[in-house]
Structure 1
């Protein structure tokens, strides 16, 4: 059965992106994947389907070298949005509504692998409220932003399972034990 995993990064004060939706503060951090408790390459091998919110999708598309570039993930990707997507990439499906309405479709796409909730604290929390978030893996950058996109869109009960570092980033793996609105 597929696990639902939120693999992300945050500022020390709990923001996924700054008020201008920039990740420059994160991308400038020194990293050492050999130190990581869960290297990205190992993580992505366990992912069979990707779930994204619209803001994350727009950010990724905006940072492709050209619109002709292929989508960044090989796995089937589901973008939760009530609006049509401006770009049409192979392997991307727009969906709308609560995550529970799409559970069977996501798990079928993932096969015997996991579902990665790639972006959006509100989206990740909506999965948690639906009982569809098993793990939060977060890399915490040594920077504060003061405002921006919050790490999580609501209260979660978590249990720390593992911690370590990747260069300047503190990493923590949590099991989700409960969600509240």
Structure 2
């Protein structure tokens, strides 16, 4: 069965990016590529990915300034209301709710998992649709004070694994659902 997995990094105070959508704070952190929370090991189980327009636009700007090309080989569904251009052959721009695209996403993933790349609002949309199974977050030893939140709505999670990679705390949580009482 296809799992939807939100694999990301965040600051200690829960932000994915700063107020300018920059990841500069993240890109200078020391980590072991083969250690807990390894991107390569995670990607081995991924058959498709989904992302929001802001994340996609950030990647596009990074590719334009660096001269690099889109290098993801799995199908990518970008949820957007913007007029964006596909960055690669595997990119499909979609509008609507996660549930409206579930069949296409899962068909594209085959027997593998779906990587919820980001952002946090889209991850919350998937969680509210019952389409987010777990959150795998590498928590960096830095605070940002403000920016793009990891998960901008209330949701209950259950810690299932905890590791360390360099200065990162690497935590895996199952998504339990909306909080029943607070």
Please give the range of the TM-score, normalised by the shorter of the 2 chains.
over 0.9
Q: 8 Å contact 1:79–1:95 — kept in the other structure?
A: yes
Q: Could you tell me how far 1:83 is from its partner in structure 2?
A: 1.8
Secondary structure at 1:137 match in 2: strand
Q: Could you tell me how far 1:47 is from its partner in structure 2?
A: 0.4
Cα distance in 2, alignment partners of residues 68 and 91 from structure 1 = 19
TM-score, L = length of structure 2: 0.93
Going from structure 1 to structure 2, the CA distance change for 1:27 and 1:99 (only over 3 Å counts) comes to: same
Secondary structure at 1:104 match in 2: helix
1:144 paired with 2:143, answer yes
Uncovered stretches (5+) of structure 2, i.e. residues with no partner:
none
Q: Could you tell me how far 1:33 is from its partner in structure 2?
A: 2.9
Secondary structure at 1:155 match in 2: coil
Q: 8 Å contact 2:52–2:80 — kept in the other structure?
A: yes
Q: Could you tell me how far 1:42 is from its partner in structure 2?
A: 1.0
Q: Does 86-95 or 110-119 show the bigger shift?
A: 86-95
Q: How does 1:96-107 map to 2 (within 5 A)?
A: 96-107=95-106
Alignment partner, residue 12 of structure 1: 12
Q: Could you tell me how far 1:64 is from its partner in structure 2?
A: 1.2
Going from structure 1 to structure 2, the CA distance change for 1:64 and 1:173 (only over 3 Å counts) comes to: same
Secondary structure at 2:152 match in 1: coil
Q: 8 Å contact 1:123–1:153 — kept in the other structure?
A: no
Alignment partner, residue 114 of structure 1: 113
Cα distance in 2, alignment partners of residues 86 and 106 from structure 1 = 19
Cα distance in 2, alignment partners of residues 66 and 147 from structure 1 = 26
Q: How does 1:20-169 map to 2 (within 5 A)?
A: 20-36=20-36, 38-64=37-63, 69-169=68-168
Cα distance in 2, alignment partners of residues 89 and 67 from structure 1 = 16
Cα distance in 1, alignment partners of residues 26 and 66 from structure 2 = 24
Q: Does 61-70 or 18-27 show the bigger shift?
A: 61-70
How many residues align structurally?
A: 179
Cα distance in 2, alignment partners of residues 156 and 137 from structure 1 = 15
Cα distance in 2, alignment partners of residues 98 and 12 from structure 1 = 30
Q: Could you tell me how far 1:65 is from its partner in structure 2?
A: 5.2
Cα distance in 2, alignment partners of residues 68 and 121 from structure 1 = 27
Going from structure 1 to structure 2, the CA distance change for 1:71 and 1:62 (only over 3 Å counts) comes to: same
Secondary structure at 2:93 match in 1: strand
